[in-house]
Structures are given as C-alpha cells and as structure tokens.
C-alpha cells in the first residue's frame, strides 16, 4: 500500500503552510492557549481567525460548496487539520464541536430547512454550538439522561440540567438530547434538538477547570420553549443521531499532529538544555523515552489516516473512531508525562512564572490531558465498542 499523498495534496499542504505563516497573529504566540484554555482575549483572536478560514471555505473544507464549504474532501480536510494543529493556529475545540460534530450530524439528520439555515453559517464561522449531552447522573451512560422535552402545542418545553457543556457561555445554539417518551425503553425514548441559547429559561453557571480556566459549564433548562422545527430528524430516534455524532467527535483526525507538536517542543528542549552537566538529549533514558513517543505518534497517525480514508470513500467510521480515541488520548497522557520528565522541575512552572519555559506549554498540556479519555465517552466505553463492533465479541 502506498501511504504517500498525491502531488495535488502535497501542493495543498504547501499552500496551507504558506497561508499560516502570514495569518497567525503574533499575539496568539504570546498567549497561554491550548485545549480548554481560552481566555477572553484568545477567544476573540480565535473567532476572528476562524472567520478568515470560513471565508476561504477552510473552516469546513469537506462540506459541499453549496453549503458553504470548499468541497475538498476528507483527505485534504486531514491535511488542513494537521497543519492547523501543528502550527498552533488559533483554532479552539469549539470549532471542532461546531463544524465536525454538530455540523456533520445536521448534514445527515437535519431537515432541508435546518441545513439551509445552520450549515452555511457554521461553515462561515458565524455561529457556534455547545453540546447538551452529559448530566449529573448520566455521563458515559447517556441513555440514562433525564432532561425532558414535552410537547405543548406547536412547541416543546425543555426541563432539566446538563453539565460539562464546553463553551456554553459563548455558544449561539445547543445541540441537545432530551427524553421525549419517558414510557419507552432506553435508546428509544430520546430526541435531538437545536436550541437557541438566548431562549428564556436557560441559566449558565461556570465550572472552572484544572488549569484555572472557564471552559466548562453547567446549564439549566427551566420551561425553555423550543419550536417544533427545532426537533432534528425523527422523534425518539435521537440515540442513533447522538451515537453518530459521537463517532464524529471521537475520530479526531488532527490528534497525531497535536502529539507531534508536543514531542518536537520536548526534543528542542532536550537538545539545548543540560542536566548534571550534559545535554538532556545525550541521556540514554531520555533518548529512549522520546523515541518511543515518536513511534507511537506514527501509530496514531495511521489510525487517523484510516478514518479520513473511510470518510473519503463515503463510509462512516465507528469502532475505528473509538480505536483512534483510545490510542490518541492515552498517548497524549503518556507524551505529556514524558515531557514533564524531560523538562524536570521547570516543566512544573505555570505561565507567568519568571522561569517558566515559554508559555508553559508542557505544564498546561499535562493538566489538560487528565480529562482526555473521559469526554466523548470514557476509554472503558470505547474498548467495549471496539470489542463488540470491531471484534464481534459478545456483550458478556
């Protein structure tokens, strides 16, 4: 099998690299940015940058042209994602949520009216979504959710609570799962909705994450009125829609590039700093550790490439997405831990410390990695999916 990209695809990669050299603001380089680490200032920069991408069709490169995308296909989408991540472009997880999770789901399940309304605005970067999945008593077992959507005339009334809603305090809309038939069995009792976050009855409370940033929220819905055209797809078929959206979430085609960026920062530090009188890069234990991480990154890359290939052929990744998520999330933990070992006590210094390394990337990556492998379904859940759907093993 030939794993090379075509000449056209390589030319596209060069085009992206050249564009990024001139378009990433210098101020972005000076800020502590990364997973779950947005500030008011970095949020504004990333939103402006995403709109620039949207104007080129690059925010949603695989979307059809008629829906605001560039129609580039999923291989070029992979290339673009790799370069954006590796060059630390101002792209937050919020863009991934809106474009590649919710937007892709709406293309599959949304009505013609919903697609014409939301998808072009998503592709341009004009609107953003948060997720209304987890609840205090329904995390990985999302089939146990209790938020209710009750029909009332031409509307649904939403009541309940959601938690860990990323960027709900910035979001324009919520992609929400709610029970629409409490008498039906699990997996057949829920529906998906698009809800305007400015609707009366919505209360947002911040949850400060381990890095000290406001990325997560708990959201309360008290008699929130949603027009019936806010229902996505068929009533009580929400579990299938949510499950497919989770496959999009877990696929993460830029995962390998994230880890490669961290490794390269680690290698650069090891080549230019000494410990006990010699360069860290000359320590055989540290060299072996970094080499092992480089090998694992290539494994992660192949898993990502497989997913992009499946989508490029008109397929849908299921257990393949779970494979990529398990390996990629656990690799991020291992590589962040390795980075802390290479950098030693300097790696423990937070941004703002006079002796912190750069913007304390390794310190922040280490803390951010703690939640990876939980969001989107725990890795235990992912292993069950791989066992049952990938290997055909029995449930018990």
Q: Does the pLDDT at position 102 exceed 90? A: yes
pLDDT band at residue 33 using 50, 70 and 90 as cut-offs: confident
Tell me the per-residue pLDDT of 379-394, one tens digit each, with 9 for 90 and over.
899 999 999 999 999 9
Burial letters 171-181, b for 16+ CB under 10 A, else e: bbbbbbbbbbe
Q: Does the pLDDT at position 157 exceed 60? A: yes
Q: Does the pLDDT at position 318 exceed 80? A: yes
pLDDT band at residue 205 using 50, 70 and 90 as cut-offs: very high
List the one residue out of 15, 9, 19 whose CA is nearest residue 75: 9
Q: Does the pLDDT at position 31 exceed 70? A: yes
Question: Measuring CA to CA, how many Å separate 26 from each of 21, 272, 362?
Answer: 10, 24, 20
Assess contact for 63 and 70: CB atoms under 8 A: yes
Q: Parallel, antiparallel, or unpaired for β 231-232 and 190-196?
A: antiparallel
- Positive/negative CA dihedral, 256, 311, 99, 44: positive
Assess contact for 130 and 174: CB atoms under 8 A: yes
Q: Where are the alpha helices (DSSP H) in 92-143?
A: 93-95, 103-109, 112-124
Backbone angles phi, psi at 121, to 5 degrees: -70, -35
What is the pLDDT, as a whole number, of residue 334? 94
What is the pLDDT, as a whole number, of residue 126? 96
pLDDT band at residue 2 using 50, 70 and 90 as cut-offs: low
Assess contact for 188 and 236: CB atoms under 8 A: yes
Q: Hunting for tokens 């310190």 — which residue is that?
A: 363
Q: What mean pLDDT comes out for the span 193-222? A: 95
Assess contact for 34 and 92: CB atoms under 8 A: no
Q: 33-37, 214-218, 308-312: which range is least confident on average? A: 33-37
Tell me the per-residue pLDDT of 325-361, one tens digit each, with 9 for 90 and over.
999 999 999 999 999 999 998 888 888 888 888 888 8
Tell me the per-residue pLDDT of 233-261, one tens digit each, with 9 for 90 and over.
999 999 999 988 888 887 777 788 889 98
* Cα 346 to Cα 95: distance, rounded to the nearest angstrom: 32
Q: Does the pLDDT at position 158 exceed 90? A: yes
E-state strands within the chain: 129-132, 148-152, 155-163, 173-179, 190-196, 202-208, 214-227, 231-232, 274-275, 278-279
Portions of the chain given CATH number 2.40.110.10: 130-238
Sort residue 316 into left (φ over 0), alpha (ψ -120 to 50) or beta.
Answer: beta
Q: Parallel, antiparallel, or unpaired for β 148-152 and 129-132?
A: unpaired
pLDDT band at residue 10 using 50, 70 and 90 as cut-offs: very high
Q: Does the pLDDT at position 106 exceed 60? A: yes
Q: What mean pLDDT comes out for the span 95-102? A: 91
Superfamily name and number for 130-238: Butyryl-CoA Dehydrogenase, subunit A, domain 2 (2.40.110.10)
What is the pLDDT, as a whole number, of residue 46? 93
Is 36 in a helix, a strand, or coil?
A: coil
Q: Does the pLDDT at position 1 exceed 60? A: no
Give the rounded percent of residues in the chain with a pLDDT score beyond 90.
69
pLDDT band at residue 54 using 50, 70 and 90 as cut-offs: very high
Give the rounded percent of residues in the chain with a pLDDT score beyond 70.
99
Backbone angles phi, psi at 351, to 5 degrees: -60, 135
What is the pLDDT, as a whole number, of residue 136? 93
What letter would DSSP give residue 396?
Answer: -
Assess contact for 203 and 160: CB atoms under 8 A: no
User: Rounded to the nearest 10 degrees, how much is the dihedral formed by the CA atoms of 256, 140, 34, 74?
Assistant: 40
Tell me the per-residue pLDDT of 282-293, one tens digit each, with 9 for 90 and over.
999 999 999 999
CATH of 252-390, one of 1.20.140.10, 3.30.460.10, 1.20.1070.10, 1.10.1660.10: 1.20.140.10
Assess contact for 225 and 215: CB atoms under 8 A: no
- When the pLDDT of each residue in the chain is averaged and rounded to a whole number, the result is 92
Q: Which residue has the higher pLDDT, 313 or 177?
A: 177
Given 82, 249, 320, 361, the catalytic residue: 249
Q: What mean pLDDT comes out for the span 283-310? A: 94
Q: Does the pLDDT at position 53 exceed 90? A: yes
Q: Does the pLDDT at position 169 exceed 60? A: yes
* Cα 90 to Cα 196: distance, rounded to the nearest angstrom: 26
Could you confirm whether 83 is annotated as catalytic? no
CB atoms within 10 A of CB 392: 7
Sort residue 32 into left (φ over 0), alpha (ψ -120 to 50) or beta.
Answer: beta
């Amino acid at each position: 099998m030939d794993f090379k990209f075509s000449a056209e695809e390589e030319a596209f990669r060069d085009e992206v690299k050249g564009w990024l050299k001139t378009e990433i603001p210098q101020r972005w380089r000076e800020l502590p940015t990364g997973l779950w680490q947005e500030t008011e200032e970095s949020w504004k920069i990333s939103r402006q940058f995403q709109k620039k991408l949207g104007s080129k069709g690059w925010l949603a490169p695989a979307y059809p042209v008629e829906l605001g995308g560039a129609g580039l296909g999923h291989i070029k989408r992979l290339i673009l994602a790799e370069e954006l991540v590796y060059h630390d472009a101002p792209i937050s997880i919020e863009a991934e949520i809106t474009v590649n999770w919710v937007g892709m789901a709406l293309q599959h399940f949304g009505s013609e009216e919903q697609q014409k309304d939301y998808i072009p605005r998503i592709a341009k970067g004009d609107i953003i979504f948060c997720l209304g999945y987890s609840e205090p008593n329904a995390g990985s077992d999302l089939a146990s959710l209790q938020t209710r959507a009750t029909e009332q005339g031409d509307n649904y009334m939403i009541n309940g609570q959601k938690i860990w809603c990323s960027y709900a305090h910035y979001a324009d809309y919520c992609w929400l799962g709610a029970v629409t038939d409490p008498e039906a069995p699990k997996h057949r009792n829920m529906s998906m909705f698009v809800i305007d976050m400015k609707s009366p009855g919505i209360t947002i409370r911040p949850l400060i994450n381990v890095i000290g940033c406001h990325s997560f929220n708990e959201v309360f819905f008290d008699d929130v009125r949603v027009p019936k055209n806010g229902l996505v797809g068929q009533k009580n078929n929400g579990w299938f829609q949510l499950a497919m959206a989770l496959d999009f979430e877990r696929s993460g085609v830029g995962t390998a590039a994230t880890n490669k960026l961290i490794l390269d920062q680690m290698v650069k530090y090891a080549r230019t700093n000494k410990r006990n009188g010699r360069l860290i890069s000359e320590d055989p234990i540290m060299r072996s550790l970094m080499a092992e991480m480089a090998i694992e990154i290539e494994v992660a890359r192949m898993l990502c490439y497989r997913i992009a290939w499946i989508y490029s052929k008109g397929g849908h990744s299921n257990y393949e997405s779970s494979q990529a998520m398990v390996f990629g999330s656990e690799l991020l933990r291992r590589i962040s831990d390795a980075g802390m070992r290479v950098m030693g006590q300097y790696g423990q210094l937070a941004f703002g410390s006079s002796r912190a390394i750069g913007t304390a990337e390794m310190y922040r990556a280490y803390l951010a990695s703690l939640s990876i492998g939980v969001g989107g379904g725990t890795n235990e859940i992912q292993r069950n999916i791989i066992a049952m759907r990938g290997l055909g093993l029995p449930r018990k």
